[in-house]
């Protein structure tokens, strides 16, 4: 079924030979059989013919080219000079690490030889020390006496050392106030360990309250935890 | 130019022989300038643009490894230069069409050097006709977007395939096809090519364009 719109959309492909053989044959047949598509096709080819004609007209004549080449030659020469200048500048700007690696200093030959010998000797010494095997443990073999030979054989069994750790924790709990007794509150962030109990006194306005254990009593229970062993053998 | 002599020239030019590069340039300068003329529609801009292409090619010649033909490589430089120029034109604003040929041709028809790039026409009538046609085609090309114009030129003048064009421009094949179709439609409209469906006589379709 011929569809003018579809055919006209691929007319440009037909003109520029972008269709495969079968499609080209089909579209060509459709164009030849349809007035509208045929007119479209020929209008496109006429358009392209006009462009071709202008291309030929725009091609410069021979007298034009010497001037074009002169201009291009000048621009190329300038570009070459600029490139050479850029390269020379780039060559001058050598990065520090490169200069460091390529810098050479003049050293007197005897000094250089001595330095080289020292270097070689120290290298050989270091290599020798490294290559020497580690000393083996000395085993003293004493001749066994007849008594020792008759004695029961003793086997040494490695027993893990039992470690004991005793953790003592003393917990102070505040005593309940009784009969209007004012509870001295513990100041925050004060370490009470090692602070000796002292006589309770009301805090003075001038002197800041000191941390003490008054108002506290040892807890009724003392938790002791004995840990034997360590790691997986902890008991 | 034979392939061997071209590769010889390329090798010499890569070694810094400017004369070899100039000889190489002579082989393609016409093709390149005509392409630039169609793209810019202005003689001075076209000269400038084509020479810029040669300068870029000269600078980049050291990197040419012969993986494609020299002209394919040069054409890609041309396309990139045209695209960059298009961006520059976009920043500058309006494009100037220098050849308002109808008025100018009427005024200077007798002057054979009016179109300095054109071959000498044979007569006054032909000069006017040719001038008019040049003017109309360049004007019609001016109605295309730069991308449509470039795609049209690459297809019509350079004979590149859709795939090659889309690869060079970095767009899809579908977009290339669509742009080309629109370009031809616009050109037809700009040139005032009329449809002859009314007095239809079945014209044979060309085997190939």
235 residues of chain A, pLDDT tens digit each:
778 888 888 899 999 989 999 999 999 999 888 888 988 999 999 999 888 888 878 888 888 889 999 988 888 888 888 878 887 777 677 777 877 787 788 888 999 999 999 999 999 999 988 888 766 666 656 666 666 666 666 667 776 665 666 666 666 666 665 555 554 554 445 455 544 545 545 555 555 555 566 665 655 555 656 666 555 555 4
DSSP state of A168: E
Enumerate the domain spans of chain A.
4-58
Count CB-CB contacts under 10 A for residue A223.
10
Distance from CA of B118 to the nearest CA of A (A): 5
Q: What are the chain A neighbours of B25 within 8 Å (beta carbons)?
A: 72
Percent of chain B with pLDDT over 70: 72
Residue among A55, A59, A79 whose CB faces B55 most closely: A79
Flag whether pLDDT at B75 surpasses 90: yes
| Residue A83 sits at the chain B interface (C-beta within 8 Å) | yes
| Residue among A38, A48, A76 minimizing CB distance to B55 | A76
Contact at 8 Å (CB) between B131 and B116?
A: no
| A contacts of B191 (beta carbons < 8 Å) | 47, 50
Least confident span in A149-153, B86-90, B125-129: B86-90
Nearest to A45 among B115, B138, B209 (CB): B209
What is the C-alpha separation between B185 and B152, in angstroms, rounded? 11
Please tell me the distance from the alpha carbon of residue A18 to that of residue A11, in angstroms, as a whole number.
Answer: 10
- B49: which chain A residues are within 8 Å (Cβ-Cβ)? none
Cα–Cα distance for residue pair A74/A85, rounded to 1 Å: 16
Would the pTM count as exceeding 0.90?
no
CB distance B187–A15 less than 8 Å?
A: no
Which of B56, B197, B204 is the best substitution to test chain A (most A C-beta atoms within 10 A)?
B197
DSSP A14-75: HHTT-S-HHHHHHHHHHHHH-HHHHHHHHHHHHHHHHHHHHHHHHSPPGGGHHHHHHHHHHH
Q: Which of B22, B205, B209 sits opposite A17 (nearest CB)?
A: B209
pLDDT at A102: 78
* Confidence band, pLDDT 50/70/90 cuts, at residue B63: confident
Cβ within 8 Å of B, A 55-74: 55, 57-61, 64-65, 68-69, 71-73
Provide the 3-class DSSP secondary structure of residue B179: helix
Domains of chain B: 1-97 (1.10.1740.10)
SS3 B162: helix
How many degrees, rounded to 5, is the angle at CA A57 between CA B132 and CA B157? 110
Distance from CA of B102 to the nearest CA of A (A): 15
Confirm if B168 and B76 have CB atoms less than 8 A apart.
yes
What string of DSSP letters covers A75-109?
Answer: HHHHHHHHHHHHHHHHHH---HHHHHHH------H
């Amino acid at each position: 079924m011929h569809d003018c719109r579809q055919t006209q959309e691929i007319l440009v492909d037909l003109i520029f030979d972008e269709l495969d053989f079968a499609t080209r044959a089909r579209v060509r047949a459709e164009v030849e059989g349809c007035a509208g598509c045929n007119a479209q096709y020929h209008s496109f080819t006429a358009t392209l013919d006009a462009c071709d004609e202008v291309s030929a007209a725009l091609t410069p004549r021979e007298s034009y080219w010497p001037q074009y080449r002169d201009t291009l030659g000048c621009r190329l020469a300038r570009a070459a000079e600029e490139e050479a200048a850029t390269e020379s500048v780039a060559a001058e700007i050598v990065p520090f690490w490169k200069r460091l690696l390529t810098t050479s200093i003049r050293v007197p030959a005897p000094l250089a030889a001595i330095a080289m010998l020292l270097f070689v000797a120290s290298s050989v010494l270091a290599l020798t020390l490294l290559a020497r095997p580690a000393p083996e443990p000395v085993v003293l073999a004493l001749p066994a006496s007849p008594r020792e030979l008759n004695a029961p054989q003793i086997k040494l069994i490695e027993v893990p050392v039992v470690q004991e750790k005793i953790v003592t924790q003393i917990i102070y709990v505040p005593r309940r106030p009784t009969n209007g007794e004012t509870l001295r509150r513990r100041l925050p962030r004060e370490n009470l360990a090692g602070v000796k109990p002292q006589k309770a006194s009301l805090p003075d306005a001038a002197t800041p309250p000191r941390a003490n254990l008054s108002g506290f009593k040892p807890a009724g229970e003392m938790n002791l935890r004995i840990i034997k062993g360590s790691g997986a053998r902890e008991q | 130019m034979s392939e061997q002599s071209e590769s010889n020239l390329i090798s010499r030019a890569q070694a810094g022989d400017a004369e070899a590069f100039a000889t190489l340039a002579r082989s393609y300068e016409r093709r390149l300038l005509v392409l630039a003329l169609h793209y810019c529609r202005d003689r001075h801009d076209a000269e400038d643009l084509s020479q810029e292409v040669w300068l870029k090619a000269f600078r980049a010649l050291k990197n040419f490894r012969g993986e494609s033909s020299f002209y394919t490589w040069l054409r890609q430089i041309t396309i990139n230069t045209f695209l960059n120029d298009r961006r520059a034109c976009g920043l500058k604003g309006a494009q100037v069409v220098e050849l308002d040929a109808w008025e100018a041709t009427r005024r200077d028809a007798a002057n054979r050097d009016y179109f300095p790039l054109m071959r000498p026409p044979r007569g006054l009538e032909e000069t006017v006709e040719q001038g008019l046609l040049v003017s109309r085609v360049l004007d019609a090309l001016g109605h295309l977007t730069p991308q449509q114009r470039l795609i049209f030129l690459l297809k019509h003048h350079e004979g590149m395939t859709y795939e090659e064009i889309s690869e060079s421009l970095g767009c899809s094949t579908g977009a290339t096809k669509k742009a080309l179709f629109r370009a031809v439609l616009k050109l037809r409209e700009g040139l005032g090519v009329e449809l002859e469906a009314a007095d239809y006589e079945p014209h044979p379709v060309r085997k190939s364009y």
